[in-house]
Structures are given as C-alpha cells and as structure tokens.
Chains A and B, each alone.
Chain A
C-alpha cells in the first residue's frame, strides 16, 4: 500500500484534535505543557524520558518530535541512545520476568 496510516504532516496539526472537543483538548494540552516544564527534573531530562517512552509505545510522531527536542535541549546521540536502551531493557525485562511464571509452571508440571 503506497499510503500508510502514519503521516508526518499530522504532527503539526495535533492541536486540531480540539475540533471535536475543545474543553478536553485544552485540559490535555495545559497538562502536557505543565508536565514538560522544568521542575525537580530539567527540561532536558524530561525530553530524554519522553524519548524512551516514545520507543516503548512505538509512536513515530513522538520519536520524531522528541528526537528533535532532545537535540534542542542539549542531549547528544550517545545520551539519546542510552535512553532508548533503557526503554528496551524495561520492555525486554518485562517479557523475561514473566519467564519465572513459566519456570514455576514447568517445575510443577514436570517430573
């Protein structure tokens, strides 16, 4: 199929989601803005967390946006790659830790 579901030009139009429900959109975007403001964590650290989560939820819009944001906030490729590995480790670990259930089952069911 030539035309995919994901389109790059959707990203700058994210705000158009307000068309079907302005009040909820406003609450979401206000909250979103507040989340990413500097607080106990810096804006750069928050962008790195967002980049890692973007890979965990496999959102191409978020990967695009937060790759750029991380660079802009002063992270370099090595720092961003380490963040992606954190997401990968948690995703992989989440699968692997279930192996303990498998192990218990096997031990109980086997001679």
Chain B
C-alpha cells in the first residue's frame, strides 16, 4: 500500500486493531479460551451450546441447502470500530482476497443453489476485485449485497460507487448503530455519524432508500454496549422519522443484530467488567424459536484465502468446515453434497445468535 493510499484510509478511529497492539486476545484460540474460562456452571445448560440445543429439543444443527454465498474479501478497513468482530483496520492490508480466489468463488457459486451473494469484509469496497465480483454475481442474476461501513463511500476512489452499485441492483446493507450521534461515534469513532449521514445523502442521491427494490438501502444496527438488540420490529419507524426529521435522509429497512462476544467486542467486555454478565445474559436468553432460522444453516462463508466456514463468526474464530480427513475445505473444492452432510461447528459464542429475538446477518430471527 502506498503512503497516499494509507492516508486515504485514515478514517474514523474507535480504537486500533488487537493485532496492531499485539493484544493477548489477538489470536482466535485465545478468544475461544477466554469464553471457556467464564464460569457459567450456574447458568442454564451450564453455558454449553450443544446442551442448550439438546435440552430444548432442537437437536444438532443440520445444514439446509445453501441460499446465501457470503464472501469475506479481507480484513482491510478504513475504520477501526471498538466492537469489530473481524479485528479489521487499515493495518490489515495483507489479508485480501486475490483474483484467483475470487474466480474460484464464482466457479463454486455456480455449483450451489445460492440466490444471494453477500459481500463483506473489512470494507469490501477496498479490495481491488470488489467490482469484478459484484459484476459477475449481478450478471448471474443473483441478489448481491454490499456490507458497507458508509464512511468508505466518502473516499475519492468511491465517488461513483453509489450510482455504480445502483446500476447493478446491489442492496447496500450499511452499519449504523444508532440514528443519533452519541452512540454511533462512541462505538465507531469520532466523526463517524457525520460521515455516515453524508454517505446516506450520496446513496439517496443515487436513488437508494426510496422504495426501489433494485436500490435497497438497509441499515444494520447493533447494540452500543453490553446488552441485547431489542429487535427491529417497532424501531424502524422511529429511525425513519428521526433521520428524516433531523437529517433529511431516507432508508428502506432496518435490521438489528446482537454483538458476538469475540475479537474487539470481547476485549471491551473484558476491560469494562461486563463479560460474565453479558455471557450469562446470552445464555439465559437462549430462544429455541431462533434455531430454525440460524444463518449457519443456509449460508456458506468464504474467507479471503478461500477457506470455508459455517458463518462469518466461525471464520473469525478460525473454526473451519473440515472434510472427512479433518482438513479445512477450500472454495476450489466445493462439493455441495459433502457440505450438506457436514457438521456445523458450534461453541459458546453461538449463544450470540440464539439470544432474545435472535441474530443473523439478515437481522433478528424470532
């Protein structure tokens, strides 16, 4: 990355990456160990996710047909939010999907029944092959999702992006923790809210957020602290009214999701003294009604280096899908029959998706 490019990436900062700080939680294995160190013996199901599934009559998680092909293009991001489950940031420039892997993703996509291609990161727009992938997926008449941090749209290289995405019918799913400034800046860094509003204005100007299904702008909110998401029902109209009244911007729908107790959010839970209580809250709020809609059942998650995972969270914890020999599967070798027989990898963090109204990349579940 050149100096000019690095400067261009000096976006809002909530913190710096765990890796840049050589933090003890930087290795995923240490995050898993930290979750297992929490004494949940007095909590329901003793804080064991598989036991919670069994005792609630749900049985083991079985994969359904792949509907969503999620591609994580890498960990590079212009922002460094305090809750990021990817530990993304401007310093993660080397972990980026290359063209060969992107092409392997497309060949694998053609072998699945997926109707949606969900492109995430980091900030996926910063990957040099982002537009190639979007073009190819849109050309296959897939529903394409760009998981966007909004501020990336203000970079000079992204000036034409709202229009470009709109021309290809791409849904923009944009992170915004709250429709008001304080909580947004507290989680994502000073100045984020202002940048987000400016980015939504640009999306609106390109036709996004006006009810056109080919230019859908979805806002995705996650709690700013140690509490569960209240679910999207009921909040959407308040958000729409608030953003319209105070900033004259529009969006199409709101989805909410819980924070997963991993990576930088795990670090915050530890340092703020909230970890035990939050994990207990997740376990006590286990809701069996969320299990049938869990995203690990209908999603295939591909990492920047082409490995396969049940979801983006397992990807960040380096819990891959393995073949019969216990070897991590690669996107080059996608075999939908084998994937249909796989065992979904679960651990304590999975309580984050089953708590309360549930949580997924598509919002709440129950």
Contacts and interface: CB of A to CB of B under 8 A. Distances in A.
Nearest to B184: A76
B346 interface: no
B228 A74 contact: no
Contact of B223 (A42, A43, A72, A78): A72
A76 B180 contact: yes
A44 B182 contact: no
A73 interface: yes
A57 to B, nearest CB: 23
A78 B182 contact: yes
Contacts, number: 36
Q: Give the secondary structure class of A's interface.
A: helix
B178 interface: yes
Given A77-B182, A78-B180, A78-B182, A72 B230 contact: yes
A43 B230 contact: yes
A76 B183 contact: yes
A49 to B, nearest CB: 15
Interface of A: 38, 42-44, 68, 71-74, 76-79
State the 3 A-B residue pairs at the shortest beta-carbon distance, nearest first: A73-B230, A72-B230, A72-B227
Interface of B: 178, 180, 182-183, 221, 223-225, 227-230, 234-235, 238
28 contacts: A38-B234, A42-B234, A42-B238, A43-B230, A44-B235, A44-B238, A68-B227, A71-B223, A71-B225, A71-B227, A72-B227, A72-B228, A72-B229, A72-B230, A73-B230, A73-B235, A74-B178, A74-B230, A74-B235, A76-B178, A76-B180, A76-B182, A76-B183, A76-B224, A77-B182, A77-B183, A78-B180, A79-B180
